[in-house]
Structure formats: structure tokens, C-alpha cells
Structure 1
Amino acid sequence: MPFEADIAHALDRTTDSLEPDLTALLGGAVERGRRRRRRRNAGVLAGVGACAVIVASGLVIPGVLAGSRSAGSGMETVALAMPRSAVTGDQMIEALERTFPGGRFSQVTGQSNNPSDPSSGYVANGGLVVDDGHGAAYVGVSAVRLKLPLGDGDGLSCKQSPARAKGDTCTLSELPSSVEIPGGAVVMSERNAAKHPSRADTAHRWTVTVTLKATGAQLQIVQWNSTGGGSGSDVPKPTRAAPPLSEQQAVAALTGATWAPILGAVG
């Protein structure tokens, strides 16, 4: 996912043990770098600029460094598959803004994928700071397609080496097959502190990853309770207590009408 703001993005999803530094560009978009987020995998391969974007956003894209294994990790990077059709950065931004009707947006960034050119990345993403009246928050979404059959990997397993820091959480669940989600989906939800031990003024990142079992299409939304992502002192102080969307709201949004066209294009 050639994001001009996430070199860390590649690293982001590349290591479970790494805390992606996503402060600048996507302002907290993806933290998948920790586990070599499959999404950034493609983006990372697309270029250093793309990696930097992902890192800045905090998005975690599985398979960022497809075929690679992070030091000390027992988890293989998730392999990416070519998207069925192109998704533009503008489409990602539009869908993201529609996810927060009535919100005020700033620091808007989008990145297209390019199915015809693997060097340009297989990951599409969008990121922005949204103010929904309860405090500004950075939010980013990435879209990618995983190779089938699905296996252990980013967005598919809570296993991590080394173990998660105290206070960080990860849960896995499944959505049954339906008209909207033929074949069902795997949902991974995480909450991570920007630094440890966390304090009252430590920002947190909430990540929800939805992977369709029939196609491998995957959407990941990363929300910060601050105006930027990253880790440690690089992350702005919290601007609110909770993310704009709860876990249930995030899952409903990613599997609803707004993101359906992007899920279909990716997978």
C-alpha cells in the first residue's frame, strides 16, 4: 500500500512485537506493522513512501512484508492476493467520511491500490482526523485481499510473540454467512496503549479487522483517541476517552452498504 506516509507501515504489519510509528501521515491509520499487517505488506512492497504512510497512520496491514518473518515471532506474514479491481484513494476517503456523517474532517489522506502493477502495492487506504462533537480522533481504514485458504496471520489470530503488554487486549469472533457476507467473516478486535506502562494521559489505539472467509477480502479500521498515531512520546495526548466507533459499530460499518463496494472490488 504505497502510502507516502508509512514506511513503518511495512514494519507495522511486519512484526507483532513492533509498535508501528504512525504519527505523521495517516495520523494513526494502521498499526498492523506489529504483526506485519497484511495490508501494509502490499503497501510496503510498493515503496518506502507507502510504508511511511502506514506507519504514520498506525494501521496494521497483514502481509506487509509478505513472505518474511519478524524476529522472534512464530507467526508467518500473511500473503496478499491481487485485488479484483482498482480502489482509488478518493473512494477510500469518501467511504471513510460517509462512515462519520456530520463529522468535521481534517488531515485527509488517501492511497490507491494498483492491481495491474504489483510494485505499486495491493493495499488501498484512507485516513483522516474526525471531530464528531466528542473530541477529535484519528481514524484510518485499509483494504486488501488475502490469499486463500486463510491461515494464521494478521487479522486472523491473536497469537503474538513476544506476548502482549499488560492492559492490551485482543479478541476473535466470527460473523455468520449472510446476504451481505456470503461465507461469513473473521473479526479481530484489539486495544493497545501507545506506551507501557500506560497512564491516564496515554493515548490508545482500537483496531477492528474484518476478513471475509470466502474471498479473503479484508478491511481494517484503526481508531485513536488522539489526533495522531504512532508510539510512545510521538503520539499526541488523548482528546477523548473512547474511539468514535464502538467495536460493534465498527463491524457494522465495515460490513454495511458504505464499504460493500470496496470489499467487492478488493475480493
Structure 2
Amino acid sequence: MPFEADLAHALDRTTDSLDPDLTALLGGAVERGRNRRRRRRAAVVTGIGAGVGACVVIAAAAGLVVPGGLPGTRSAGSDIEPVALAMPRSAITGDQMVQALEMTLPGGRFSQVTGQSNNPSDPSGGYVANGELIVDDGQGAAMVGVSAVRLKLPLGDGDGLSCERTPARAKGDTCKLSELPSSAAVPGGAVVMTEQNAAEHPVRADTAHRWTVTVTLKSTGAQLQLVEWNSTGGGSGADTPKATRTAPPLTEQQVVAALTGPAWAPILGAVG
């Protein structure tokens, strides 16, 4: 398989502001570049084609993690082995991602809606499906993005699986891991990783924050990641739009319940 195809397969994951507006998207990519994990992803992004690159930029804008470059390779300046992606079991359309995301945010008004499909049958396409939008639930507009991908088994300590592999966090930033037991909705159980990060430090009263919840099924490697901002988009430090609300639209518990619930069950099944 050509090097470019490997790059295309390894990337395509939504990941730190969420808007198809080019300036905001690039700002999100810069924000991700502030830590080692996101620098590693950005380094791989630079080598992909325009079509796949657009998907990755959307991912960067949403603050979603691109889980891995090429299997067995490392980017310059990183001592972390990339996470290998596996081919999704079937295709997921961008419309499916958006519809499931809207079902996760009932009662809200949506704008700037964007979806990105995966394409497991096309070696030049990506293996990640994305969705993003701005939701206004009456508490202030907020940017929300989601991605679906499949990690190769057995699972390692990659993105969404270990807080030890995330960069050093500034004061107030958090990361924690938990597990869901095996059930009808989550056969084999799942790893849940939750993070909270401020857009700038020191944090001020109007500083925007990003909340990330990543759910990874142990049995299949299917992984969903949902990112919420308490602003209308990500960016880089002081360039990030100021906070429009105190809390994200959904709590951590609500996100986990949604990602393991009926709305996302078809997506998890198609990915893994």
C-alpha cells in the first residue's frame, strides 16, 4: 500500500474548535498543536491529500483526537507510539453522524452543521466519520463535535485509553479514566476517558473550556469521542472565542449514557 494511502487511513479524526469556517478550523489545529499528542497528529496531517486533509482539519476544529499516524512509526519530537486504526466494518455517512449528534442534544437549535463520512471501501478515503455543529439550548451557544473510529486490537495505551499518555496539564485541567462493565449495550465493557482543558492559562472569567469524553469498546475497538466547548468554537489561546456559558450542554454522565445508548448503537456497530 502506498505511503499516501497509509497516511490517509491513519488520519481523519475530528479533534479543538468546531467550525467549517477556515479560520476557526485552522485555529483549532493550532490549539491541538499546543501539546505533544496534537503536535504528533498535526505532523501527519501535513502529508495527506486535500480531501483527507479537509476531514482532519474538521477534526482539529472540533477538538477531536486523531488516534494515530502510521503503525510502527513515530513523529519527530514524540516518544509515544501512534495508535493504529482498523478498517471500519461498514461505511457511515456524515448525515448519520449529524443525525445521531442532534438526537444527543434534544431541544436545541442547530447551526453551522457539518458531517464527514468514512469510506472503508476506498483506500484513498479516511477511516473516521465526523459530525459537528453549534447548538443553542437556551443557555448559550456551544460548539459540539463527535467522531467515530475503530482502533486495532488488542488495545494499547493510546489516545482515549490512558491519561498517562496525554501531555502535562496546566493547573485546573483534568483527565481521568473509568470503565463500564459488560452489558447488552456495551458488550465486553468499555474504557471511558474524560478530560477538561482551558483554552488559555492563566484562566480568566471569560476563558473558554473544552470537555472531551472518549468511549472505547474493549471487544471491538470501536471508539466514539464527543467534544463540547462552552463557546462557539476553539482556537489558540486568547484567539479562542470567549465563553458563552458556564457549563457544557451535556454533563459527563449524560454524554456517556448517550454514546452507549440507542442513538449511537448503529454507529458503534458499523465502526466495530
Q: Which residue of 1 aligns with 2:233?
A: 228
Q: Which residue of 2 aligns with 1:16?
A: none
- After superposition, where does 1:23-38 map in structure 2 within 5 Å? 24-25=19-20, 34=35, 35-36=37-38
Distance 1:217 1:116, change over 3 A: same
In structure 2, stretches of 5+ residues that fail to align are 1-10
Task: Give me the whole-angstrom Cα distance separating, in 1, the residues matched to 2:224 and 2:162.
Answer: 15
Distance 1:164 1:69, change over 3 A: farther
Task: Give me the whole-angstrom Cα distance separating, in 1, the residues matched to 2:39 and 2:155.
Answer: 14
Q: Which residue of 1 aligns with 2:106?
A: 101
Q: Which residue of 1 aligns with 2:164?
A: 159
- After superposition, where does 1:80-229 map in structure 2 within 5 Å? 80-160=85-165, 162-229=167-234
Q: Secondary structure of 1:47's partner?
A: helix
Distance 1:21 1:139, change over 3 A: closer
Q: Deviation of residue 89 (structure 1)? A: 0.1
Q: Secondary structure of 1:119's partner?
A: coil
Contact 1:172/1:189 (<8 A) preserved = yes
Task: Give me the whole-angstrom Cα distance separating, in 2, the residues matched to 1:64 and 1:36.
Answer: 11
Q: Which residue of 2 aligns with 1:58?
A: 63
Bigger Rg over Cα: 2
Give me the identity figure in percent.
Answer: 72
Contact 2:12/2:128 (<8 A) preserved = no
Q: Secondary structure of 2:270's partner?
A: helix
TM-score normalised by length of structure 1: 0.85
Distance 1:230 1:60, change over 3 A: farther
Q: Secondary structure of 2:105's partner?
A: coil
In structure 1, stretches of 5+ residues that fail to align are 1-9, 14-19
Q: Which residue of 2 aligns with 1:249?
A: 254
Distance 1:83 1:166, change over 3 A: same
Q: Could you tell me which of 240, 243, 261 is aligned with 2:245?
A: 240
TM-score normalised by length of structure 2: 0.83
Contact 1:25/1:54 (<8 A) preserved = no
